[in-house]
Amino acid sequence: MLAAPLAACSGGPLDPHGPIAEQQRLLIFNALAVMLAIVIPTILVAVGFAWWFREGNPRAKRRPDFVYSGRVEIVMWAIPLLTVIFLSGLIWTGTYNLDPYKRLVSDRPTTEVQVVALDWKWLFIYPEQRIASVNELVVPAGAPVHFDMTSASVMNTFSIPQLGGMIYVMNGMVTQINLQANHPGEFYGRSAHFSGDGFSNMRFTTRAVTEDDFARWVEGVRGGEQVLDRAAYEELMKQSIPERPFTFRDVDPHLFHAVTTQRIPPAPGPSEGRGGPGIQERAQK
């Protein structure tokens, strides 16, 4: 009864709109089916035992001296063993098929996006187009997207549940993930790792659009005013929660590399309480 109202819920991993999310949902359902193959018979057997050995059943044979049965032992060990084998097979194949570093096969060109997790916002850099956006990710629908990701301060996680995957991002490191939206639409993205007071507002919108609309969006961004150079990035690093998404018409091509190699020092990070030192100050101490 409690689960019934949730049947119409959307926006999560069970409502996929991309090939990675579809494989993840299939893996969840397959693992659930394997586990239910034990859970359901166990529940039925428990109820059956209670009913058969009830006090009012004279046909039930009570054997207080029973201590061992080879057939019972075989059943008791074979079923869990088969379950472990099936689940291991699912995990093995799923780990290979859903490797976040594995490129998606497509006849469409791959869009490259560099992602930087900031406090408390997301920066998306398009190195091929030399533009950037904050808290808005725009990608061509039906085409693969390859993400290179890092963090400007503390560890965080990048997640677009309807497209698949959740991956950690850390300062001084680059992680990758490959995703694709099957059709045009809007999908919410979020941080799934607590990173301070503004964590709950660290959300972004993913807009999958047609190739023509993506080209028009790129041209529109290039007609803007802001430029993302090192000075603008250092200002962007400061802790803030933008009221709305915004863009940069041009980006320093070496900016992402400078962040990942820590040529640009990491941001202080969330404070330990009001006025407490950030991660940089604690490291210096």
Strand partners, 94: none
First to last CA, the chain: 55
Q: 23-33 as b/e, with b when 16 or more CB fall inside 10 Å?
A: bbbebeebeee
Supply the pLDDT for residue 279: 43
Cα–Cα dist 167/156, whole Å: 8
| Structure confidence by residue, pLDDT tens digits, 228-248 | 999 999 999 988 888 899 999
pLDDT number for residue 11: 66
- pLDDT value of residue 271: 63
> pLDDT (tens digit, 9 = 90+) per residue, 42-67?
899 999 989 998 888 888 888 888 88
Which whole-number Å values give the CA distances from 244 to 58, 64, 240, in the listed order?
Answer: 74, 73, 12
pLDDT at res. 131: 96
The CATH fold of domain 111-265: Immunoglobulin-like (2.60.40)
Q: Do domains 14-55+69-97 and 111-265 have the same CATH topology?
A: no
Cβ-Cβ contacts under 8 Å for 150 (sequence gap 6 or more): 115, 116, 117, 169, 170, 171, 172, 173, 174, 175, 256, 259, 260
> Low-confidence residues of the chain, pLDDT below 70?
4, 6-11, 271-285
* Domain boundaries defined on the chain: 14-55+69-97, 111-265
Which pLDDT belongs to residue 10?
66
Q: Is 14-55+69-97 in CATH node 1.10.3470?
A: no
pTM: 0.80
